[in-house]
Structure 1
Amino acid sequence: MAEPIALAALALDAALGWPDGLYRRIGHPVGLFARIIARCEALWNRPGHSFGTRRLLGLLTLALLVTLAGGTGWIVQHQLLAHLGPWGWLAVAAFAWPALAQRSLFDHVRPVTQALARGELPAAREAVSRIVGRDTAMLDETGVSRAAIESLAESFCDGVVAPAFWLLLLGLPGVWAYKAINTADSMIGHREARWRAFGWAAARTDDLANLVPARLSGLLLCLAGPGGWRILWRDAGNHASPNAGWPEAAMAGALGLRLAGPIAYDGVMHDKPWIGDGRSDADGGDIRRALRVYARACLLLWLVAGGLAWAR
């Protein structure tokens, strides 16, 4: 049953995204996760606690969050399938839809290339600042373009492939438990002193949850943009994350670009290794090419979900 649910959820997301009007009225489920995490962090991540105590309380925060998300997902899925008969799977798909971000990711990256095409670098910096964590104020066109392409590649895993994977594997409980873990990692799973202990469980669990989806993402991007295989196998390990390097290396190879490299966060330069061995002077045209590769990779994911549904 999970296969047609995943296919329908992917179709809803591609067609509608998460409409602004809906967001203004009810927000987004991830916002609830964020509020819970922020509240727990304010209560429990106190400097007076020992490193071990803060790590334990971070683990408790994650356990509460996953239990809430997964448990609610299980109850909703069980009730819908039990009471709506043959239409229950469509209702489950509607509840899974907000967990996917195909359309949202495309709609956030496209304004970057549109601003660059108009020659409006400040607008491009503003647009890319909404999707990356690095400093963008001083980026030139190449820096803005690389940032947009890297975010697109990495978010293809976090926002599309991983939610679909867990939806296919465990249904509604799986996809929302994954989104809870991923939200916790994005908020507290950092190496800075404030979060190193409290966010440890979130970061390690997110690494585990993305282990298979990241590699599937790289595979899909290589199939969607031939030319990425060599860079994928050679450079996937050049990223600090055990997972993010896979889709990023695949995209770098497909586009013939060098990605990653030295990056500034909060005014501090980090001398990160390069991924890829092509051009380093990315531009708005490369973002458009990346979006085409991304769209084809999403279609391949649809084919996977549809093939599994047909085989079942």
Structure 2
Amino acid sequence: MPEPIAITALALDAAIGWPHALYRRLGHPVGLFARIITGCESRWNKPDFSNSRRRILGVACVLILLAGTIGAGLVLEHLFRSFLGPLAWLAVAVLAWPALAQRSLYDHVRPIALALARNDLPAAREAVGMIVGRDTRELDQSGIARAAIESLAESFCDGIAAPLFWLIVGGLPGVWAYKAINTADSLIGHREERWRAFGWAAARTDDLLNLVPARIGGAVICMAGGGGWTTMWRDHARHASPNAGWTEAAMAGALGLRLAGPISYDGVVHEKPWIGQGKTDTDAADVRRAIRVYVRSCLVLAGIATAIALGDW
């Protein structure tokens, strides 16, 4: 019988996420990556270093993350096979489970829809501020709803589709190598002067690792949403990221909305292009529709993982 590693990890994440009790006692595995990354950054990303030196040291940081996660994953899988025999797959699934974020993303976006539905804009701004980096203090109902939907669509790739892809392709080493690089991209893969050279390797490696999952994720959203294919193909390149635009454009098309557009970061308005051709006056109902598409998309991914497992029988 095939080992249902991916399906089991997905089921655990969907059922209980990463419980607060575990988080309080153990933290989360990405916290270890964050400490390694910030430690490297504080030592190697010195303002008086040349850009070329900082870029080389940024590459070293990425190599440390990849060597550590892939090496640890291979060792653990070997130990599980040696000591647990036919139950080794279950241990792998349990250790892969925290790399997925289905439940966490749902639990972060649903309160935004609830707050908007009761016209509690301060609560909605606070909730959306937990998942986006843009300024939220002045966002109106439409701005809050669009921010929630955009984050839901983009995070579908790096929180679910990509970790699942690398779990299926590379097992425990693959999924945690991806999470390490994705964490590095979040922390240092920025275009600001401080990060541009040191974070270059993290950003480019993250782009590479998301290349296939982002396109799969966009297709899955279109399937789950019953449309959006034309918008996805036409508008994905309007996003600054070579990958995030696929899932965001797919969601915009599936819901018949316009997403992105002008966004304020640190008090500076960035004139980003619109994605999609629908309405811009989004509200709680649109966030709820996006959540339903998201849930169906997760179920489609679970079906794909099941089919792959059965195909290995």
Partner of 1:210: helix, strand, or coil? helix
Partner of 1:269: helix, strand, or coil? strand
Deviation at 1:154, TM superposition (A): 0.2
Deviation at 1:3, TM superposition (A): 6.0
Are residues 1:213 and 2:213 paired? yes
Partner of 2:114: helix, strand, or coil? helix
Deviation at 1:156, TM superposition (A): 0.2
Deviation digits for residues 8-46 of structure 1 (CA, Å, limit 9, x no counterpart)? 101110011000010000000000000110111001100
Give the match for residue 83 of structure 2: 83
Give the match for residue 136 of structure 1: 136
Check conservation: 1:259, 1:276, Cα contact below 8 A: yes
Q: Which amino acid aligns with 1:8?
A: T
Are residues 1:126 and 2:130 paired? no
Are residues 1:238 and 2:238 paired? yes
Give the match for residue 303 of structure 1: 303
Partner of 1:132: helix, strand, or coil? coil
Give the match for residue 102 of structure 1: 102
Deviation at 1:119, TM superposition (A): 1.3
Check conservation: 2:3, 2:89, Cα contact below 8 A: no
Deviation digits for residues 225-284 of structure 1 (CA, Å, limit 9, x no counterpart)? 012111011101100000000000000001000000010111111101000000011111
Q: Which amino acid aligns with 2:28?
A: H
- Superposed CA RMSD in Å reads 1.0
Q: Counterparts of 1:45 and 1:242 in 2: how far apart (Å)?
A: 26
Are residues 1:30 and 2:30 paired? yes
Check conservation: 1:3, 1:168, Cα contact below 8 A: no
Deviation digits for residues 53-86 of structure 1 (CA, Å, limit 9, x no counterpart)? 0000011011101111121111111111221111
Q: Which amino acid aligns with 1:141?
A: Q
TM-score (norm 2): 0.98
Check conservation: 1:260, 1:275, Cα contact below 8 A: yes
User: Structure 1 regions of 5+ residues with no counterpart?
Assistant: none
Deviation at 1:304, TM superposition (A): 0.5
Q: Which amino acid aligns with 1:28?
A: H
Give the match for residue 223 of structure 2: 223
Give the match for residue 254 of structure 2: 254
Check conservation: 2:6, 2:167, Cα contact below 8 A: yes
Q: Which amino acid aligns with 2:124?
A: A
Are residues 1:72 and 2:72 paired? yes
Give the match for residue 293 of structure 2: 293
Q: Which amino acid aligns with 1:278?
A: G
Check conservation: 1:116, 1:124, Cα contact below 8 A: yes
Check conservation: 1:2, 1:169, Cα contact below 8 A: no
Give the match for residue 166 of structure 1: 166
Q: Quick one: percent identity of the two aligned structures?
A: 67
Check conservation: 2:2, 2:310, Cα contact below 8 A: no
Q: Counterparts of 1:311 and 1:69 in 2: how far apart (Å)?
A: 28
Deviation at 1:95, TM superposition (A): 0.3
Give the match for residue 54 of structure 2: 54
Check conservation: 1:162, 1:213, Cα contact below 8 A: yes
Q: Counterparts of 2:2 and 2:255 in 1: how far apart (Å)?
A: 34
Q: Counterparts of 2:265 and 2:310 in 1: how far apart (Å)?
A: 46
Deviation at 1:2, TM superposition (A): 8.4
Number of positions where the alignment pairs a residue of Structure 1 with one of Structure 2:
312
Check conservation: 1:3, 1:308, Cα contact below 8 A: no
Give the match for residue 195 of structure 2: 195
Q: Counterparts of 1:76 and 1:111 in 2: how far apart (Å)?
A: 38
Give the match for residue 63 of structure 1: 63
Give the match for residue 114 of structure 2: 114
Q: Which amino acid aligns with 1:254?
A: A
Q: Which amino acid aligns with 1:130?
A: M
Which segment drifts farther, 254-263 or 3-12?
Answer: 3-12
User: Structure 2 regions of 5+ residues with no counterpart?
Assistant: none
Q: Counterparts of 2:234 and 2:33 in 1: how far apart (Å)?
A: 37
Q: Counterparts of 2:266 and 2:187 in 1: how far apart (Å)?
A: 16
Cα distance change on mapping 1:2 and 1:121 into 2, 3 Å: farther
Q: Which amino acid aligns with 1:250?
A: A
Check conservation: 2:9, 2:96, Cα contact below 8 A: yes
Check conservation: 1:3, 1:306, Cα contact below 8 A: no
Deviation at 1:210, TM superposition (A): 0.1
